[in-house]
Amino acid sequence: MRSRRYRTAKPHRGSHQPVWLYGRHPVLAALANPDRRIERILVTREAADRQAAELAGKPVQIVSREELTQRLPPGAVHQGMAALAAPLEEPSLEDVLARCGDDVLVLALDQVTDPHNVGAILRSAAAFGLAGVIVTERHAPADTGVLAKAASGGLEFVPLVRAVNLARTLEQLKTAGFWLYGLDERGDAPIGALDLRGRVCIVLGAEGEGMRRLTEERCDRLVIVPTNGPLSALNVSNAAAIAAYEWARRRS
């Protein structure tokens, strides 16, 4: 899978300050992304030996595991690797639409704030070849090391669009020929029963609160992920992964 690249990408609307990416997959994916500006690379001797091929020719600084741990947020699972990187430029919706074919899936997240959830959704989006993930500009996590670690490299591959007004963005998708399906427990059909051919956007709301009214009104239909166990509700990242799989399995 290639890293993302956009000719008309906007500057990052959040902080321009570099952030520490950590963990084997996020760091190696960032190093392989020509659009990612890396300022420093810190690795332990063990990690440098293990990833010698990927690190060849890179300005690597060897540090002890203790020193690396001290430079990162508490609890960061770094696997002996970290990179100080500038934020990626953010694509606009127009950038993503210009690259979309006639048979694609986009996920839209309505105020999903947990970086672990958004990161996991990006990981699933990368694994199943989705065209992009849309989040709200407010009430959504920044591109931090936590999100990048949860995405396991997916942040480098999947366009992450930040919508100032999600309802308006969904209308733009409709104009571009997308069918909009909202995942909601009030849905009238299981997602597995949908056709899902053509241009499709699946909308997911925040855990607990679900989709906001204006977001729900933009959906063409509400659908469910059917469950039959003692817990009726799924984590939003799990629901997104199932939706992505249902879309991808019909193309295998």
CATH of domain 93-249: 3.40.1280.10
**CATH architecture, domain 19-85:** 2-Layer Sandwich (3.30)
pLDDT average, residue stretch 95-117: 96
Please list the residues that pair with 202 across neighbouring strands.
107, 181
**In this model, does residue 3 exceed pLDDT 90?**
no
DSSP assignment letter at 206: B
> What are the structural domain ranges in the chain?
19-85, 93-249
DSSP assignment letter at 224: B
**pLDDT for the residue 1:** 53
Alpha helices in the chain (DSSP H): 24-32, 45-50, 52-55, 65-71, 93-99, 115-128, 145-151, 166-175, 213-218, 236-249
**Distance (Å, whole) CA 190 – CA 194:** 7
**pLDDT for the residue 26:** 98
pLDDT digits (tens, 9 = 90+) for 134-178: 999 999 999 999 999 999 999 999 999 999 999 999 999 999 999
pLDDT, the chain, mean: 92
* Alpha carbon separation from 224 to 2, 116, 181 (Å, rounded): 32, 23, 10
Indicate whether this model's pTM tops 0.85: yes
pLDDT average, residue stretch 79-87: 97
Structural Rg of the chain based on CA atoms: 19
